[in-house]
Structure 1
Amino acid sequence: MGIVTRLAKVAAVFMALIAAPLWADCGIAPAGTSQRIAIPGTGRAMLIHLPAQSDTRRPAPLLFLFHGSGGTGERMLAKSNLAATADAHGFILAVPDGGITLDGGFVWNIPGVPTPSGAMPGADDPDDIAYVLAAIDWLRANRCINSGRIYAAGFSGGGRMASLLGCVAADRFAAIAPVAGLRAGLPAAQDPTRPDPASCKPARPMPIITFAGDKDTENPIEGGGSAYWQYSMRAALDRWAMLNGCAPTPIRRGISTQLYEERFGHCRQGADIVVRMTIGGTHSWLADNETMWTFFSRHRRKS
């Protein structure tokens, strides 16, 4: 081996070593790690997981993961096991904490909806929508993300937050995945068993995959329960199907003896709605992460 060849190989190894710790052009944290990073202009930090494996030639998809009421982003990341999915498929995970404190954790500021404590969010409470949008803008400015491939998932109260973003930020999100928390706006004042159409007017059809259990007593699929819940999951699905211009009757198929799927098809702009229902499932993270990511991967927001 000639001296020139040896020097070239040494140089290649050196360049790989100095490039390896930083993911793509993003440069905000080492690849394969989860770190709390300050989001400029918000006074708040956010837990960010950068994937261990990715195509470093292009910005990555971004998935927001929202914890349930009283939870934290850190606990939600561990409960969901989505970091492993992010590493396998090369997407960034943003795992924030809600803006309102509760029982050693946090809840989301969903305007017009009382928190589990019964208190209505006030004007002085942090604006969680603005916080999320600021994080998107900052990650995009740092060349970290593909702005056409931004998604939201969440559990329980976090599912309500993901649903809210589907209503008010459809121009930023390509698809959402509420788990035990699908909503389609506020309960109507005159009839809380129905969603208020005025409270959810997305700018475009919103693809949705949602997961739930038919024995969930916290957010029961038949409705009722707490003041923030009230209308049934079916009412939420029917409203989203109308908003997306889908066929009104879903097609049902069995996945296993304990799982079935319903799909609203023929939706405008391909914005299908998929339900994965666990028979006997309770109030827990019932999402199949691979199924969720496969659904997300099919959807991109056109600018």
Structure 2
Amino acid sequence: MKKAVFSLLCFITFLVSAQETVSGTMLHDDTERIHKIYIPSSYTIEKPAPLLLLIHGYSEPAGWILEYTKFQPLAEKYGFIIACPEGKINRAKVPAWDFSSTNEKGEIKDVDYINSFMDKLINDYSIDKKRIYITGFSQGGYMSFIAGCHLNNRIAAIAPVSGAMPVSSLFKCAPVHSTPAIVINGDNDNAVPYNGNRFGKSVKESLNFWIDYNKCDKIPVITSVEDQNPADEQTVEKHEFLNGENHSKIVHYKVVGGTHLWPGREGNTSFEATPIIWKFFSQFKLE
């Protein structure tokens, strides 16, 4: 009997470690929420893996952001798990993130959902709780900022892409530890304007909050990023705000002429955001 149980456990472990993309659902706030999880082939329960939370934009499902950003080869190389929660279906019948609905505790519901989703991941997989990171595109960029504030005790570093800090009375940013951030925006983005709008703060305002909180140098080191595609008529500036507390830093990639796209994909091919984000994340963990 003991041999049978041991064999079954080994078989279950093999199945988990051999999986690639797992589709699943989670009941939260009386709503069944969809998610996608990518498990690298090197994963084992004996070695806790870093976790990358990858958040989609408005109207796009969880599987879309996983395929769009192409983090999977890096997950295979470096052994991290990618988890893509999906926003709730809205009145337009598309998945979206809601920054205004709150629960009985006054918490933003979708923040509570992501928090509960992390609990589920930690329960279901062997996760290195000191190495949980969040990145996202568009609305997912907003959610990356929001989670970096409201779930700061669990998030080691953030990387909003084409997002902004929300303009909302519900948005209270009170970090509890130095939080490195890599922030990527195009200055010709009509969906999330570089200079802000009634929904989101400007890139400068968003950056300044984290620069001040982390006590980074206020004067950045600015360098030009090698242009991988001169034909797209875009250039990239790297702004590094260094010497923050606990070795933190804020890095901003300004895509001059860049629109509302993930850098490295169609239309924005001056540089590849995906490997840059993971390289940045891999330097940091919760202390």
- Asked if 1:158 is matched to 2:104, the reply is no
After superposition, residues 99-138 of structure 1 pair within 5 angstroms as: 99-101=88-90, 103-111=92-100, 121=101, 127-138=109-120
State the Cα distance separating 1:84 from its structure 2 match. 2.5
CA 1:164–1:55 in 2, change beyond 3 Å: closer, same or farther?
same
| Greater Cα shift, 169-178 or 209-218 | 209-218
CA–CA distance in 2 between the matches of 1:182 and 1:279? 17
CA–CA distance in 1 between the matches of 2:221 and 2:44? 36
CA contact (8 A) 2:34 2:62 kept: no
State the Cα distance separating 1:217 from its structure 2 match. 1.3
Given the two structures, how large is their TM-score scaled by the length of structure 1? 0.77
Aligned residue for 2:50, secondary structure, equals: strand
CA contact (8 A) 2:138 2:162 kept: yes
CA–CA distance in 1 between the matches of 2:56 and 2:39? 19
Q: Which stretches of structure 1, 4 residues or longer, exceed 6 Å deviation after superposition?
A: 15-18
Given the two structures, how large is their TM-score scaled by the length of structure 2? 0.82
| Greater Cα shift, 45-54 or 72-81 | 45-54
Aligned to 1:142: 124
State the Cα distance separating 1:45 from its structure 2 match. 3.6
CA contact (8 A) 2:164 2:202 kept: no
Larger radius of gyration: 1
Aligned to 2:267: none
Q: Deviations over 1:39-58 (max 9, x none)?
A: 36664342111112346641
- Asked if 1:245 is matched to 2:226, the reply is no
State the Cα distance separating 1:21 from its structure 2 match. 3.0
After superposition, residues 89-104 of structure 1 pair within 5 angstroms as: 89-101=78-90, 103-104=92-93
Aligned to 2:183: 210
Q: Deviations over 1:153-193 (max 9, x none)?
A: 0001110001001111110000011000032x535x7xxxx
State the Cα distance separating 1:35 from its structure 2 match. 1.8
Superposition RMSD on alpha carbons, in Å? Answer: 2.6
CA contact (8 A) 2:187 2:258 kept: yes
AA of the residue aligned to 2:175: P
CA contact (8 A) 1:35 1:47 kept: yes
Aligned to 2:167: 186
State the Cα distance separating 1:99 from its structure 2 match. 2.5
* Gap regions ≥5 residues in structure 1: 1-14, 24-29, 112-120, 190-195
Aligned residue for 1:93, secondary structure, equals: strand
Q: Deviations over 1:62-109 (max 9, x none)?
A: 111111112211111121112222222211111011125254421112
1:60 to 25, 41, 49: 49
| Greater Cα shift, 173-182 or 274-283 | 274-283
CA–CA distance in 1 between the matches of 2:28 and 2:273? 35
Counting aligned pairs with the same residue, the percent is: 28
CA–CA distance in 1 between the matches of 2:279 and 2:174? 26
AA of the residue aligned to 1:86: A
After superposition, residues 26-37 of structure 1 pair within 5 angstroms as: 30-31=18-19, 33-37=20-24
CA contact (8 A) 1:40 1:138 kept: no
* Gap regions ≥5 residues in structure 2: 1-8, 228-234, 264-271
CA contact (8 A) 1:213 1:281 kept: yes
CA contact (8 A) 1:55 1:90 kept: no
CA 1:108–1:254 in 2, change beyond 3 Å: closer, same or farther?
same
CA contact (8 A) 1:265 1:272 kept: yes
- Asked if 1:76 is matched to 2:78, the reply is no
After superposition, residues 17-32 of structure 1 pair within 5 angstroms as: 20-23=14-17, 30-31=18-19
- Number of aligned residues: 260
